[in-house]
Structure 1
Amino acid sequence: MNARPAPASTRHEGRVLDRAVIGARRFFVGISASRVITCGAGTWLVAAFFAATGIYGLERGGHMPVAIETVRDAADSVANFAGFRIANVNLSGQNHVTPGEILATAGVKPNSTLVFLDAEAARERLEQLAWIKRATVQKLYPDRLDIQIVEREGYALWQKDGKINVIARDGTIIAPYSDDARYIRLPIVVGEGAQKHVGDIVEALSLVPGVRDQVRAAIRVADRRWTLKMRNGIDVRLPERDIGDALQELAVLDRDKQLLTRDITIIDLRLPDRVSVRLSDAAYEARQVELKAKAKTAKKEGNT
């Protein structure tokens, strides 16, 4: 019965390992034949060879992280006796992230010591958390650790594919939406790309509070422009550029002509030299009746 040939990748790794072993054997044969190397140096080289072999095995087996953690715990145990155990941890700036999450992410355990805590690596891990914008980790010997957190703030709610998330000013998703009082008054943006341009529309609307307070959501259209969905059902189509000017014009029209309270369905501000509106079906029919009545009146007056 013929044995199944090993995969190419396995054969390649085997050849690499065989060459390494053969090379090591030749190296140590040369060492043993040399009178320059002392027995003590030879012993250290043998130890180094087996240590390297063990590290290679751990790496190939995927056990290196566990091994490193075990060594670190052992080192921390030794450093504890020297008085370097982290006895005081000062946390500041956290609001949404719990102390337990901060310590776990930073890698601080009950037996951790300042000596073997990598402050820079801890900082980098903390800044990978969605709520944390910036972190500072300081070691104050012999036993104090200071961690300062600057959290992101909820800037808007972003709806896409039926899901609503709280996002920061830069569009970073912070957390899924929940019935938290802090999120109720956040502006809502909808659609692909809306999170990337949320600052533009929110800041433009902040300059026209009379309009802003009537907006239910801002919808990103083809990732090029915005359509405002008003609370009374009117759609306001904004231009791709100069949305601030268009909103200012809308605010003036609403102030002078109560445009946003009329029986219309669409206000189109995409053209710089005109404002177009579309009446609702009921308003359109009423308008047609009114025009016909005026036409009849004018015809009668013309006949008299």
Structure 2
Amino acid sequence: MNDTQKATSHKLGGVVFLLSVITALIYGAVEVNRWLEDEQRAPIHRIMVSGQYAHVSPRDIEKMIRTSHPGSFFELNVESVHRDLEAMPWVYRASVRKRWPNNLSVYLVEQEPAAIWNHDLLLNKFGESFPATLENSGLPTLFGPGGSEQTALNGFRAMQSLLAPTGLKIEELLLSERFAWDVRLNNGVKLKLGRSQFVDKLQRFVDVYPLLAKESREVLYVDLRYDTGLAVGWKPENQTERES
């Protein structure tokens, strides 16, 4: 065998060796990947839930994660779990971290309800609606067209602040399609405030309320939709107070 043949043979042997190494590496990578994705070999051992919560159950959190995201610790998609957690009704914010070697850490910030919205939703303190209900919550009930949640909540807060000296509280607030304000107080009195300058009109009611409270008759409603003054409707003596 001459030198040229020897060189060719060495090159061919080197190529075969290189291909063998590459094949072995690929096979090894595939097997390692299979092993890592095998839930039985690398399961999520523990899901640790922390944060301050009253309406969210750690058991429900764990059930959702294990049901919706089966697989091994290495295969678990943290971003996907994060999205699913924040889609839960009472979860406002969530963070998810993998903890080596096989644990998952979840931190929750729960929704803080500020009002009932249109009877079937709740508003959080930022004026954002979320699909949940509360029985006997003592929260005010706000009504309004879609997209007016924050306007209604801000209006409620401004009005309640004005009413504070009287000791009265708003039980129900209605913001109409034309953005006119109507309010029912915890003593049953209804206030008609109209579309504009509701703060000034409500202040007018606060100023005159001590005089109305001295009357022997019970107030049914106060119409404040005037530039000056107001109109008072009185309950008939034989009329019993009803919830609206």
Q: Same fold (TM over 0.5)?
A: yes
SS at match of 1:104: helix
Tell me how far apart the structure 1 counterparts of residues 214 and 80 of structure 2 sit (CA, whole Å): 54
Q: How do residues 72-91 of structure 1 correspond to structure 2 at under 5 angstroms?
A: 76-77=37-38, 80-81=40-41, 84-91=42-49
Report 1:186-197 matches (<5 A).
186-193=139-146, 195-197=149-151
Give me the whole-angstrom Cα distance separating, in 1, the residues matched to 2:60 and 2:34. 20
Query: Match for residue 88 of structure 2?
Result: 129
- Equivalent pair of 1:103/1:109 in contact (CA under 8 Å): no
Pick the structure with more strand per residue: 2
The amino acid that maps onto 1:178 is E
Q: Which amino acid aligns with 2:184?
A: K
Of 123, 142, 154, 1:167 maps to 123
TM-score, normalising length: structure 1:
0.55
CA distance in 1, matches of 2:180, 2:67: 47
Change (3 A) 1:136 1:231: closer
Structure with more relative contact order (C-alpha pairs < 8 Å, separation 6 or more): 2
Instruction: Say if 2:117 and 2:129, in contact at 8 Å, map to a contact too.
Output: no
Q: Deviations over 1:52-98 (max 9, x none)?
A: xxxxxxxxxxxxxxxxxxxx998542x653xx432232201243122
SS in 1 for 2:44: coil
In the TM superposition, structure 1's runs of 4+ consecutive aligned residues that sit over 6 Å from their partners are 108-111
Alpha-carbon distance change, 73 to 209 in structure 1, aligned in 2, over 3 angstroms = farther
1:178 to 135, 141, 166: 135
The separation in 2 between residues aligned to 1:110 and 1:190, in whole angstroms, is 38
Structure 1 residues 165-224: Cα deviation after superposition (integer angstroms, max 9, x where no partner): 433232413413424xxx1x2112235446453322331133122456343311222350
* Matched-pair contact (CA < 8 Å) for 2:36–2:74: no
Relative to structure 1, the CA distance from residue 124 to residue 109 in structure 2 (aligned partners, 3 Å threshold; closer, same or farther) is closer
Q: CA deviation at 1:135?
A: 0.6
Higher-Rg member (1/2): 1
What are the superposed Cα offsets for residues 103-159 of structure 1, whole Å, 9 maximum, x if unpaired? 233346897432111001110111111111111001122122110011111211234
Structure 2, unaligned runs of 5 or more: 1-32, 238-244
Query: Aligned partner of 1:113: which letter?
Result: S
Question: Residue 135 of structure 1 contacts residue 149 of structure 1 at CA under 8 Å; is this kept in 2?
Answer: yes
Normalised TM-score (structure 2):
0.67
The residue type equivalent to 1:88 in the other structure is R
Cα distance change, pair 227–100 in 1 and its aligned pair in 2 (3 A)? same
Letter in structure 2 aligned against 1:244: V
In the superposition, relative to structure 1, how do residues 247 and 110 fare at CA in structure 2: closer, same or farther (>3 Å)? closer
Q: Deviation per CA, 1:22-64, whole angstroms, max 9, x where unpaired?
A: xxxxxxxxxxxxxxxxxxxxxxxxxxxxxxxxxxxxxxxxxxx
Distance 1:151 1:97 in 2: 8
What does the per-residue CA deviation read over 1:204-251, in whole Å, with 9 as the maximum and x for residues that have no partner? Answer: 133122456343311222350211123444321124344333323322
C-alpha separation in 2, matches of 1:98 and 1:223 = 41
Residues 108 and 86 (structure 1), Cα distance of their counterparts in 2 relative to 1, 3 Å cut: farther
Question: What SS does the aligned partner of 2:132 have?
Answer: strand
Q: Which runs of 5+ in 1 are unaligned?
A: 1-71, 284-304
1: distance between equivalents of 2:192 and 2:34? 61
- Residue 213 of structure 1 is matched in structure 2 by 168
Maintained 8 Å contact 1:91/1:148: yes
Equivalent position of 1:152 in the other structure: 111
Residues 106 and 282 (structure 1 numbering): CA distance in 2 closer, same or farther, change over 3 Å? closer
